[in-house]
Homo-oligomer: A and B are copies of this chain.
Amino acid sequence: MSDEDQPAGHGYIGHKEDYLKRLRRIEGQARGLQRMVEEEQYCIDILTQVSAMTKALRAVSLGLLEEHLGHCVVGAAAVGGAEAEAKVKEASEAIARLVRS
């Protein structure tokens, strides 16, 4: 089924491979951190890597969120009413969790 046919589908699906690639890189960063701890590397260097990994995760979540707004929320808004309201509430709660994490 084409994207045209499902305006309210999961927004990231068109970029599935891109997200998988980014998440594999993040998994690699988690393994790299284990190696650094294993080799007893300097704390500050480990912290720098943790910050880089957190940034990469942030970018993934901001990307997913934008696609979610553009697909699911806009799709629900076209339907309107309670459905739109519920999607806005759900998205806002996800944004709040993101900001606080």
Q: Which of B43, B51, B54, B98 contacts A72 (CB 8 A)?
A: B43
A43 CB → nearest B CB, Å: 4
- Once the chains bind, are A73 and B64 in contact (CB under 8 Å)? no
Majority SS at the chain A contact face: helix
In the complex, the count of this chain's copies comes to 4
Residues of A within 8 A of B (CB): 10-13, 16, 19-20, 23-24, 26-27, 30-31, 33-34, 37-38, 40-44, 46-48, 50-55, 57-58, 60-62, 64-70, 72-75, 77-78, 80, 84-85, 88-92, 94-101
- Once the chains bind, are A70 and B88 in contact (CB under 8 Å)? yes
- Once the chains bind, are A31 and B27 in contact (CB under 8 Å)? yes
